[in-house]
Amino acid sequence: MNPDQRQPSPAAREFDPDASFARALDRDDPLADFRGRFRIPERSDGSAVTYLCGNSLGLQPTSAGAAIRQELDDWARLAVDAHFEGRTPWYSYHTVFREPTARLVGARSEEVVTMNGLTVNLHLMLVSFFRPDAQRYKVLMEENAFPSDTYAVKSHLERHGLDPDDALLVARARHGESTLRTEDIEELIESEGERIALVLLGGVNYYSGQLFDLRRIAACARRAGCTVGYDLAHAVGNVPLSLHDWDVDFAVWCSYKYLNGGPGTVAGCFVHQRHLDDPSIPRLAGWWGNDPKKRFRMHLEPEFVPAHGADGWQLSNPPILALAPLRAALELFDQAGLQALRQKSLGLTGYLESWVDAVGDGRVRIITPRAPGARGCQISLQVSEGSRELFDALQGQGIVGDYREPDAIRVAPVPLYNSFHDVWRFGVALQRWSAGK
């Protein structure tokens, strides 16, 4: 077991509801200066919003505007010649993301590519890696998977003439529990393994905030002969990952949550090294995935020859203006260091957990795992009575969280820009709501 699955975070070992306690934690925070590198929304009175919604949309880095303006300026000055003569040539622009992305997901640089949107990338991966036969045809997913993943998987099942009611296998929590147990997922894989073609799980479940034991599940699935894919939308930039070493077949993610790349920005994809040059793998082809040596021969080279690496799954030109702010954001991760961010995240969620426990309102229940190693920086609260009223009360005090039907409030203190005082403000607001009911 990972040590952070056993030990409480520093902020959870001792709890003091006084604001001075939170301020002291912020003074001791080695990452505190990163908060100033983001644009934090303001309330009408000019005070900063308490933004605890980075699991939905990350804040804008202060460097994002300059990054976009640089590309606009190159476009104005050079037009088409900016593809090769710009300060960061557009033709090879996507390659600048390889190394920082590989570091974030624990991959080799050739295994990752920044392209498309998350669900587009998932469809591309399903074309390549979901190849059912008469015996292996099922897809294992978790209960409450993000709807877009379920829609995509069902569409592929139907494309193969399969009935989703039979071919979609759902791992469910035990009665009375809110999250899945790793041993139950393993037991399901072991019992159904001969019929499972693909295990597709979220790295961190979007609703509950549960971080799955991705290494252990991948190992179990590989032993059973299943292909393994992960949706890392809520995991990338949030928790340490080691996709290559875990022997994951593929993974996809978006870049507008914890990566702070901007609304609808370009997503990412991982394909394990062992698949990169396998000609037997089917794929949908597009000209940007073609061998760069042949790309501009166009009609003179009518046959598609995939580029080496994950680049070979690309379809179209990279959207430069959408990539620019993501480039600026990823530089911050290299400066901060993911391990340091993880340690602060454990402290923030531990402090938040302590506040919920201290308020002691029986109507508010944490449904995210209590073990720090089984969650990222999101804590999901289930409110049995007055959930919408609580959410509105938080909003009225300038605290931005996230409401999910029917009764859940997701709270995400992000270590790059949130402070312990942000969590304190949430705790005080929760306390006031509880006392006023």
Give yes or no: residues 24 and 120 share one domain. Answer: no
Give yes or no: residues 123 and 144 share one domain. Answer: yes
Least-confidence region, from 209-223, 290-304, 372-386: 290-304
Give yes or no: residues 265 and 391 share one domain. Answer: no
CATH number of 323's domain: 3.40.640.10
Q: Which of 333, 366, 396 is the last residue of a domain?
A: 333
pLDDT class of 7 with cuts at 50, 70, 90: very low
With a cut of 90, say whether residue 11 has pLDDT above it: no
Give yes or no: residues 167 and 38 share one domain. Answer: no
Q: Are 25 and 420 in contact (CB under 8 A)?
A: yes
Give yes or no: residues 27 and 49 share one domain. Answer: yes
Least-confidence region, from 4-13, 162-171, 265-274, 286-295: 4-13
Q: What is the pLDDT of residues 298-333, one digit of tens each?
A: 788 888 999 999 999 999 999 999 999 999 999 999
Given this model, what pLDDT does residue 13 score? 53
The alpha carbon dihedral of 107, 108, 114, 118 has a sign of negative
Tokens found for residue 18: 């006084």
Domain region containing 370: 3-62+337-436
Residue 411: C-alpha distances to residues 9, 147, 283, 391, 427 (Å): 18, 20, 38, 11, 11
Given this model, what pLDDT does residue 8 score? 45
- As beta bridge partners, residue 221 has none
Spatial distance between the Cα atoms of 242 and 235, rounded to a whole number of angstroms: 12
Given this model, what pLDDT does residue 404 score? 95
Count helices and strands (H / E) in the chain: 15, 15
Give yes or no: residues 26 and 129 share one domain. Answer: no
Give yes or no: residues 21 and 118 share one domain. Answer: no
With a cut of 70, say whether residue 3 has pLDDT above it: no
Q: What is the pLDDT of residues 406-433, one digit of tens each?
A: 999 999 999 999 999 999 999 999 999 9
Least-confidence region, from 40-49, 130-139, 298-307, 360-369: 298-307
pLDDT class of 4 with cuts at 50, 70, 90: very low
| DSSP secondary structure, 255-290, as one string | SSSTT---TT---EEEE-GGGTT-TTS-----GGGB
Give yes or no: residues 260 and 348 share one domain. Answer: no
Give yes or no: residues 252 and 304 share one domain. Answer: yes
Give yes or no: residues 201 and 134 share one domain. Answer: yes
Q: Which of 276, 305, 333 is the last residue of a domain?
A: 333
Give yes or no: residues 46 and 130 share one domain. Answer: no
Q: Which of 306, 333, 360 is the last residue of a domain?
A: 333
Q: Does the reported pTM lie above 0.85?
A: yes
CATH number of 408's domain: 3.90.1150.10
Phi, psi (rounded to 5 degrees) for 342: -65, -40
Give yes or no: residues 244 and 347 share one domain. Answer: no
Given this model, what pLDDT does residue 153 score? 98
Q: Are 96 and 113 in contact (CB under 8 A)?
A: no
Number of structural domains found in the chain: 2
Q: What is the pLDDT of residues 28-59, one digit of tens each?
A: 999 999 999 999 999 999 999 999 999 999 99
Given this model, what pLDDT does residue 298 score? 76
Given this model, what pLDDT does residue 437 score? 60
